[in-house]
Structure 1
Amino acid sequence: MARPASALALSAAAICFSLTAPGCAALKQKWDEAVATDVDNPVVPKKPKRIPGAVASVDTEPTRSADALSGAADGSAAGSSAIELVEGRQFEPNAPQHFEDADVVATVNGEPLLAGDLLQFEIQLSDAAARIAAAPDADEAVPGGPPGLTAAQRAMLTAQIDAARAKILAERLPAKIEEALLAQRMRRTLKAEQLEKLNEAVGTLFDQTELPEMLRKANVQAVAAGRPPIQSKEELRRLMAEQGLDMDAVVAAWKPQQMAMAYVEQNTGMASIRISRQEVQDYYDAHREDFTPPKAARWEQIEVPYENDAGRSAALDVVEAAAGELRRGRPFAEVAKTYSRGLNAQEGGRWDWTAPDALPNKKLSAALWNQPVGEVGAAFDCPLSPDGFPPGGAYHIVRVIERRGDVAPPLDDLRDQIENKIKGERRREAVASLIAQERAAAQIEVYVRGTKWPPEE
């Protein structure tokens, strides 16, 4: 399956501001707090864990993932000067990797990406690991105290936590690496005052877009727990602290990607992009089937079943009486409640959206697609079997309320949606082009097994 051009998703709304306008004092420190600098980081407490993995440089042919290389200890399977195997410690083939928060999981042109930066919001995993570490040994547990763990139990639970953390890291690393590539490009091409202005604009955007949604979700939880609603950012900050989350860390994790988005908007012309009416028309014509909803119908039914030939005549009398009521103008739902013996008779015989293949009876299904919408159809017999074995069946009267999937909605109803789709495609292409340029000159080391880097195209 084709992969989107970039793991870095772009917001549909452009962030518009001038990168060339004079800013305040050069406070590049704020940006450096959000992402690491391009120089050696003196505060990283641990060197990268050297395990089999890919050292990627895509100026030649694409490299393979760490999983693909793990069996080639001598490097013979690499097949390209762009791939090297990182020598390192021995490990069990099926043992999960263990990463502390301070461990380096990848480097992007020498800039370290730390496990903790990608896992800081995995509160449940952190809590579980803390409980495992705090649990006493089984032979030291006291009656009435916390249960103890045997060495085997502790090892098994710890391995489960390690596996979960490593899986999350492998899934998130490709997008984080691409984010780091764009961040480095920004720092190379923008002046300090421009970065500061960008940082301030994105901070304002957080308060305008993300904070209200965070407050809303927090208040949903508050109502469910019977707590008073949260009214301010500071109250939310305190609540998050009680749950082990740091709001400043949330903002710091959110900012780099948004700053990259803003940079792409401004430096690829996306902020001022205009889609012509002809482009919209051409897209609609080429993707008409994509906009046509799946076939389905909403309908009403009067059903009068019979068990054998003797009961068929009585059932016909009932359904004809119901048809007479409908011809005299009595509402379908009332007639259904009076005469129908179907499963939903007391709901007026109404059925919600039904797909063409959802009904086993072909005659009944055909009525949903052949009858004019809004008209009451003639009564028809649906025996259980054409040859009468088993005996029985039912008479039906059907009225189709609404049908969809025959044609695509009119263009005017889809114009805004199509414009956004075209803009989204162009943004993805622009991001892919920028990232491709950065990859061509980048040196990227990945230390988490199973990470798909370079990402599959």
Structure 2
Amino acid sequence: MSRILIILAVVSVFGCSGNRSYDVANPVVGPPPPRYDNAEQIARAADAQGVIQQASFDTEAPLSMTTVIARVNGTPILAGQVLEPYAAKLAQASKQLPASEIRKAQEGIIKRELPPQIEQTIMVNEVKSKLTEEQLSAIDEQLDKFFDIEIEKMKAKAQVSNLAELEGALQQQGMSLVTLREMFGDRQLAGEYIKGRVTQDAPVTRAELLEEYNRRREEYAQPEQVKWQQLQVTFASHGSRSRAGEVYNKAIAELKAGSEFTDLVKKYSDGPLKDSGGHWDWTQPQSIANVEVRKSLAELPVGNLSQTIETDKAFLVVKLTGHRPASYTPFEEVQEEIRKSLINRRQEEQVETIIAELKDQAVIETMFDEGFFGGGVTLQ
């Protein structure tokens, strides 16, 4: 999933998935919530409330939202940063499942969602390490204006009229405004870091576009298609084959006398599309169920009528009204889409390289490392 191009999922208020991306096109973050920038600060905050204690790691017990589940260069990542979007569902599941199963579910979510959270934390730390408190404060003040607009969008989407109702709606989904602000803020800082590191490559050449077009040529394949009109007189509708034949022959006689085929379909046909003149839209020949109709259409020039087709249920005659041979979408029609995809691919490759370099230089510990909880701190 693209780290640059995918818009933050939690903007939709409901159905938050926890997916991470680093989109810098539309910054939205609110007044800075309480931030825990490193292990010392988080311990100090907890100690002030008298809740800090040495971890007693129980593999069967559900994780507290304030459990430190990873450290990135000493900066803690709490379980809540990963699990909060799923809190409502986990709480509901806890009414039916034992604690050990909830713990397994938590760990499954963390294994999936922790890696992008670690990447984001690394980048946020990189940004903060290069900015003064005054600069960070100025960024928050500027982004406050965007957040006010975003709040209105969230209220409209949640169909609420004030912040209290919005907060209630968010909490039903296991989220909160403070959490969203924190996530938006970190996402924006990470995005700004990526934006500053990703370089603009040389323009994509026509030769590169053509090479990519040829490589993906089958994606642009257009199968053969036909469209036709069909006059159908079924035996069942007229009580017998002979009576259906009389009606069918009358229609053919009028056709030979100069009547319009469309008018005759509406007058005599009892097929499914008779009211529209029996017109069947563009269809791949191999998907036409009636083999005889398929064969007749394959042999007809556009505008011509087939011979009478008799099945075990009806008399039919078809008229080919259009034919598109198998082809490929012309290069000129897709070159801009290809250009964008090549640029996106280059950017993605750069992002992967940047993140790999940061991770190589970082000290990363997670709850899945042996001994992580041995001397760690858990906030209860």
TM-score bucket of the superposed structures, by smaller chain: 0.5 to 0.7
Pair 1:241–1:206, CA change in 2 (3 A): closer
Q: Which amino acid aligns with 1:287?
A: R
Pair 1:317–1:280, CA change in 2 (3 A): same
Q: Which amino acid aligns with 2:166?
A: M
1:436 Cα deviation (Å)? Answer: 0.8
- Match in the other structure for 1:378: 305
1:15 and 1:262 in contact (8 A); partners too:
no
1:128 Cα deviation (Å)? Answer: 2.4
1:406 Cα deviation (Å)? Answer: 3.1
Give ranges in structure 1 of 5+ residues lacking alignment.
17-29, 51-87, 92-96, 133-153, 220-229, 385-390, 450-457
Match of 1:125 among 86, 89, 99: 89
- Match in the other structure for 1:224: none
- Match in the other structure for 1:223: none
2:69 and 2:78 in contact (8 A); partners too:
yes
Q: Could you say what secondary structure the match of 1:121 adopts?
A: helix
1:194-227 per-residue CA deviation (whole Å, 9 max, x = no partner) reads: 545555565555556x5565345334xxxxxxxx
Structure 1 CA distance for aligned equivalents of residues 357 and 209 of structure 2: 30
Pair 1:98–1:38, CA change in 2 (3 A): closer
Structure 2 CA distance for aligned equivalents of residues 368 and 266 of structure 1: 60
Structure 1 CA distance for aligned equivalents of residues 222 and 155 of structure 2: 35
1:356 Cα deviation (Å)? Answer: 4.8
CA RMSD of aligned residues (A): 4.5
- Match in the other structure for 2:192: 262
- Match in the other structure for 1:140: none
1:303 and 1:395 in contact (8 A); partners too:
yes
Q: Which amino acid aligns with 1:259?
A: L
- Match in the other structure for 1:395: 316
Pair 1:107–1:283, CA change in 2 (3 A): same
Identity of aligned residues (%): 20
1:296 and 1:403 in contact (8 A); partners too:
yes
1:272-297 per-residue CA deviation (whole Å, 9 max, x = no partner) reads: 97545555454334433324467666
1:242-276 per-residue CA deviation (whole Å, 9 max, x = no partner) reads: 22253232132133223322321222225x97545
Q: Could you say what secondary structure the match of 1:302 adopts?
A: strand
**Which range moves more in the overlay, 342-351 or 258-267?**
342-351
Pair 1:399–1:188, CA change in 2 (3 A): farther
Structure 1 CA distance for aligned equivalents of residues 145 and 299 of structure 2: 56
What pairs up with 1:33-432 in 2 under 5 angstroms? 33=34, 36-37=37-38, 41-42=42-43, 43=45, 98-122=62-86, 124-125=88-89, 128=92, 132=95, 156=97, 161-192=102-133, 194-196=135-137, 198-199=139-140, 204=145, 211=151, 213-219=153-159, 235-243=161-169, 244=171, 245-270=175-200, 275=204, 279-292=208-221, 300-306=229-235, 310=242, 313-314=245-246, 316-317=248-249, 320=252, 329=260, 332=262, 335-351=264-280, 354-365=283-294, 375-382=302-309, 391-400=312-321, 406-409=327-330, 411=332, 413-432=333-352
Q: Which amino acid aligns with 1:256?
A: D
Give ranges in structure 2 of 5+ residues lacking alignment.
5-18, 370-380
Number of matched pairs: 341
Pair 1:284–1:129, CA change in 2 (3 A): closer
Structure 1 CA distance for aligned equivalents of residues 323 and 139 of structure 2: 50
1:292 and 1:408 in contact (8 A); partners too:
yes
1:428 Cα deviation (Å)? Answer: 1.0
